[in-house]
Structure 1
């Protein structure tokens, strides 16, 4: 893990995995999450020669909190990070809550971003014609329901959920998240991915819950950019069984982003769609950008 010092005294934590001269990919993690690479997710990409850049959004891991940050603010941090790494052209990928941040990076660093990969991404909270929480499990109804009740309530809910996630056994976590997990996701969470994800999330929450709270607020506020203005190729992958970010979110994005190509997988959920397939998903995106 490395640290980049930003203006204002903030620190951005990041890591780089894969061949030094491979095609660069900036990967935006979910909520909660961190820069800790997950081999169960990234191996299919690094084995094909991709160079994966991960980072911890503000408030997660060793990254300094940034109260009130927007999705667009995070994209600006990422633009500075890619400057620091000397990357001249790259792809962006985002899973779950990372999806909006991937789209934002394509806007903030449009001269260098050649394509966007969205995996089970959220649509805007105020998206016209979308009932944001419809089809979500109970925990997400509670989490996003707190967003309209003020910061004190948001912080209380996030704190309760973080206490369950932090240092939890993957099997216990799967049982506690049952309403969010179709069988294919539960199987992944209790397998190799579950151990990877526990390390990834525990690092993100080690210093506190600020990152999760800031993510919740950023996702449910205006993002700070219009995703419909993106002109580079966008590949979207969404599981039809997803109960964390229901398929309706992917369908909204597919209907409103002009350069998007959507792949709906009938037998996949929120987790299974992102485990083991990253290399193939990036190859398909890269083919479109060449």
Structure 2
């Protein structure tokens, strides 16, 4: 993994990581909510290196190494990605969105049709503001999309749990997953979830912003 940062035109710092072959096909991967530049790629590092691909994983504003962007929109992300691609001298590329990163991947495809070769959606989410969208989701998800003080309080509670006892948080997190998802989590992935949680809990700006903008039309 190679860590990197660039200065954007408005003065913000954008953090990212790179995996795989530097001369391979470039694929920008957008993390979920919450998420980070390395996400679960450390678990797949060997497979990525064996393929003829170059994975670039940028962090959205307010996550990890990336400065927050007040009042950002999903479409704003396309401008950040375009600047990163220009910096890396990558003209055409593919995109992958994961969960909360999906709308951001779609926005980039819309904004840069001349540069995006193809886009993939993983764990896709639909519009959360339509009637009935939240009828069957967990209580935790409903709190995340509730916005305002409720969202901030819940996020701070989770961050506090991670900082005081990361192992207890991982147990709680896995307990919130549906049984079908839990059955896919192997023992060697548990330390990755733990390290991911610790890094993700360093700041809350990105998580709160993501949850707010994903519920807008």
Question: Which residue in the other structure is 1:14 paired with?
Answer: 16
Aligned with residue 92 of structure 2, among 86, 89, 92: 89
- The whole-number CA distance in structure 2 between the counterparts of 1:36 and 1:106 is 22
For 1:60-75, list aligned pairs within 5 A. 60-75=63-78
**What's the TM-score once normalised by structure 2's chain length?**
0.88
Question: Which residue in the other structure is 1:79 paired with?
Answer: 82
2:196 corresponds to 1:192: no
Question: Which residue in the other structure is 2:140 paired with?
Answer: 139
Aligned with residue 6 of structure 2, among 4, 8, 14: 4
**Are the counterparts in 1 of residues 28 and 94 from structure 2 also a CA contact under 8 Å?**
yes
Q: Give the 3 Å change call, closer, same or farther, for CA 220–79 of structure 1 in structure 2.
A: same
Q: Give the 3 Å change call, closer, same or farther, for CA 201–101 of structure 1 in structure 2.
A: farther
Q: How many residues align?
A: 214
**What's the TM-score once normalised by structure 1's chain length?**
0.67
- The whole-number CA distance in structure 2 between the counterparts of 1:166 and 1:118 is 31
2:208 corresponds to 1:213: yes
The DSSP-based 3-state class of the residue aligned with 1:15 is: strand
What is the root-mean-square deviation in Å for CA atoms of aligned residues?
2.2
Question: Which residue in the other structure is 2:149 paired with?
Answer: 152
The alpha-carbon deviation at position 111 of structure 1 amounts to: 0.9
**Are the counterparts in 2 of residues 28 and 102 from structure 1 also a CA contact under 8 Å?**
yes
The DSSP-based 3-state class of the residue aligned with 2:121 is: strand
The one-character-per-residue Cα deviations of 1:139-191 (angstroms, maximum 9, x if unpaired) are 112222x22xxx33321222112223457545x33532356312343245562
The alpha-carbon deviation at position 121 of structure 1 amounts to: 1.4
- The whole-number CA distance in structure 1 between the counterparts of 2:10 and 2:90 is 23
Question: Which residue in the other structure is 1:202 paired with?
Answer: 198
- The whole-number CA distance in structure 1 between the counterparts of 2:137 and 2:163 is 22
Structure 1 gaps of 5+ residues are 223-290
